[in-house]
Every structure is written in structure tokens, then in C-alpha cells.
Structure 1
Amino acid sequence: MADLPPLREVIARHGLSASKALGQNFLFDQQLLDRIAALPGPFAGRRVLEIGPGPGGLTRALLKAGAEVTAIEMDERCLPALAELGEAFPGKLEVIRGDALKLDHNAIMGGEPYAILSNLPYNVGTALFTRWMGGEEWPPLWTSLTLMFQQEVAQRIVAKPGTSAYGRLAVLAQWRAQSKLAMKVHRSAFTPPPKVMSAIVHVEPAAMPEGVSAKVLERLTEAAFGQRRKMLRQSLKGVAGAVDTLESLGIDSQRRAETLSVEEFENVARALSQ
């Protein structure tokens, strides 16, 4: 690391600027990046998948912490800067050019456990998160998610029932995982500064509730929160058996989706799964 030039110098030398179309915002504060990299715990010898490394600020912090990093980057302008970083840490960085939404992450990581840590591009963050949290196979190959989102999205992931932020993302993030808001990041830390504040969410897989189909739960929450201002007896009419199941479980169908706890959604999904 001592031989690496400051990130600002690297960006200037390669003529890089943050792309609004790709949802990019660069972080230059290496101390802040080191703190982010430390959130999941010691990284020595661990494998990490990073999405959208850009010029490699967070990548530097991960490599310095001893991680073996696989980075997916679709902006070819950033590849030369990442290549220089790879030369500084021989055998520790693999860069794959491509769209993270279209790639099989488990296959890329060789079917072995890995952590995911990323300053996610704002335009793909929610889509990637719901993909990582979905599917019937659990626990997943990823051992933790440490992800930066717009603060509003981060709050929706960790929200509690009865709050305006509580919705489908919260249920998907909490029904079989432990999710917490790990750190807030001021907009002034970025270049260029985004219009909104950011926050980092840390997620670790928990036990899979017995008898619950992820597919059923995802369909249930999609319908319930798709029309969140309506009573459940209206919003769930398109889910076969859902309204009758509510009544059988003693859940008032005149309630609205944001009033149901994660456990109540689990119970309804369990009954429908059977």
C-alpha cells in the first residue's frame, strides 16, 4: 500500500469521473474505507465479492485487510486503474468485466463460501439485494452482506412493523437473516456528493423457518405491499387461499400490510406452502 499513489491521483491520471448513468459516486477517504472494510470482521484469507469497485477505493481497503477479492465492474474506463491495483497485490485481485445483474455469483466464486461487500451503484442496489435474499436454497453461499445504499433504502431494509419504511424489503431481509444498520455515511464523503445521505447495512444469514417456501413468501409480500394502502382482504385477493388463511390464523383481514410482523407473514406463508 505504501507504494500506491493516492486514489485522487489515480483517478486524475486515468481521466476518470463518476458516471451518473452507472450510479457512481467515488469515495476517497481511505480511513473511512478501512472502517467499512472492517465491519464484517477479520478478512485475512477470506474471499470477497465486490460489485462495482470503480477505481478501487474500497478494493484497496479489502486487499490491505488481507482479503482475496473478486470484483465485477462493467465500466471499462476503470479497468486500467484496477489492473494497477492487482499488480500491487499479486494473486489477490480478480477483475471480471460484466453486468452483476446478469452473472452467476456463486459460479464466479467457484461454489465456495464468500462475503459480499460493496458500495453498490444506486441504480442496481435494490435489485441485487432482493436477488441475494431470495431463493429456496438456504443458507446461501454468501456468509455476509455489507452493502452501502441510499439511506432511505437502508432504513427500509431494517424497518420495524408499523413504520412508514416497513415493507417488502424489510420482510425479505429479516425473515431468515439478521439485518442491521451498521454505519451512516454523509453525502459530503463522496465525489461528486449525491443528493441523498447513504448508509451501510450488514446482513448475516440466520436459520430458515421450518415449512416456509421462499417463493410463497415473496409472492405474498409482493401482493400485500403492492397495494399497501388497501386492507389485506383486498390486496391479497390475487393470492389463492391467502384471505381465508388470514382468518384461520386469527389475523384480521381488515389490517394493512405494514401492521403485520415478520413472524405473521411467515405463518401465513407456511400455511400457504402446505
Structure 2
Amino acid sequence: MADGKKKETQPGSPDETGLDRIKALLPGDDLAPELKELSLTIFIASVAGFLFGGMIGARHSGDKFITHNHASKFTSVMQAQRQLHAASLLGFMRKGSHWSWRVGLFAGLFSGTTLLLSEYRDKQDSLNYISAGALTGGVFRVARGLKPFIGGTVLGTLISVPVGMAMTGVERMLMSGVERDKQRQRKLEARRKYRDKWDHKLGATSALIQDMADEPSSGIQGYYKLDPSNSSSTGDSSRLDNNSSQSCDKT
């Protein structure tokens, strides 16, 4: 504390806190690997929700069109099929977009909460999935009132319990203790490289700003002081002013 600055903790050090690990995820010029995986999860979930909801919407809209136009007369079979396909496509797009953002939001909340908890606690266990499921279920029902919020939280917790246990069990089956330690070391090394790269960019920016501040000829004043062409033009203008004043005196 002699210099009044807080000592920066290194990734994996005993002094590293949960907030330090979460701050290491903040995006700079490049996204952290964990955030890239989160973005990919949201994208895949959104596409899957769009396709699944679109198929439901296309089938429902097609059945509805056939039911409402059972007694309608068309000029040709091609016209009837064309209108049926248009109704199915409209239902596909409408229902698909509705499912897409909901499934993407659900996956983002669940996966993002799981990521934050795992980084903060520095553990990968069922509690992360259970807490994420409870939070996600409550957020999805919070706009409908207190009782739906509580019900969504309880339902999310009940669903995430077997999911969390299954995910943790599969991870332990597929990965031994040595492999988990290697994965942890690779993760720490990636975070160290990410932080070193960011610190290097900050140092280069600070050095550039300092060089610009120490440059004696920077700014308009330095230009007028050091530019010889500018000084000669200034002298010419002063001579022109003197000549004009002398001509005025003679007249």
C-alpha cells in the first residue's frame, strides 16, 4: 500500500476472488472463450426454437386453412395449393420467430447464470444448474405476478435438479480427476493470456498518450512556432500591412 494502488491478483492465485474471475470474462477486443461458448449456445438454441416452433406453426396454419376453406371454391388445384402453402409459410415464420427469441432467452439466462456461478464459486457441480434453473423459471414468470413467479421458481428448481445431476454425472464419467485438472489448467492459461494481452494493449495506449502529451511541437502553437513556411508567410503579411499603412499616410 506504499504506492496507494491495489495489487492485481493473477489468475489461479490464492488471493483471487470470485469477482476477479467474473471480471476476467468481461469482453475487450476479443471475447473470452467462455463467452464465445455462451454466444454459440444462444445461437443454436434460437435456431432450434425457430425450426421447432415453425413446424408447429406451419402445421397448425395449414390445418386451420383447410378447415376454414373446406367449402370454398378455387379456380384450380394450383391456386388452392398456393394459398395453402402461403398460409403454412406465414404460420411457420410467425410461430418460429415467437419460439426463437423465447428459447434463445431461456438458454441465455440458464447458461449465463450457470457460467457466472461456476466462475464465482470456482466449482462445477449440480448447485450451479439448480440455481440457474430456479432463477430462469422465476424470471420467465415474474411479469404475471407473485404467485406465478414463485411457481416458476419452484418448477425451474424441480426440473433443473435431475438435469444438474445428469450433467454432473456425465461430466464425471467422461472426465477423470486428472483430465479435469488439465482442463482447469488450460482454462487458467487461457485467462492469463487473455489478461496479459489486454494489459499489453492498455500499456501501449497509455504510452502513446504520454508521448503525445510530452511532444513539444504538438498543437497549433507548436505549428506556428516551428513551421518556417508559416513564419515567412507571417513576415510577408506584416510587410504587406506596413506598405498599405505607408500608402495611406502618403495619400
Query: If you compute each CA radius of gyration, which structure gives the higher value, 1 or 2?
Result: 2
Q: TM-score, normalised by structure 2?
A: 0.19
Considering fraction of residues, name the structure with more strand.
1
Considering fraction of residues, name the structure with more helix.
2
